[in-house]
Amino acid sequence: MFYPTVREYKSIRYKGYDIFLTLKLNNMMIASCLHDEDSNSFTDRFMDYPKKEIVNMLKDKINQMKGNTNEQ
């Protein structure tokens, strides 16, 4: 189901990623994380979380991904 965009937030730069957040009408936040090399880009959806909490979860996910790539 398509929900119109309510608000688009300013992008956040973190460890080579640009994090784009879009708030939809049904209180769903769409987070698109684009890496400079495009190899580790991903998109996540969150329901009923504040923006700050979503950003912290995404930063944790990026840190875990960076840790996994360094071990290989």
Return the pLDDT at 68.
63
Return the pLDDT at 12.
93
Question: What is the pTM for the complete model shown?
Answer: 0.80
Each residue's pLDDT tens digit, 28-64? 999 999 998 877 789 999 998 999 999 999 999 999 9
Instruction: Locate the domains of the chain by residue range.
Output: 5-71
Distance CA 66, CA 49 (A): 24
Are 25 and 4 a contacting pair, CB within 8 Å?
Answer: yes
Return the pLDDT at 44.
93
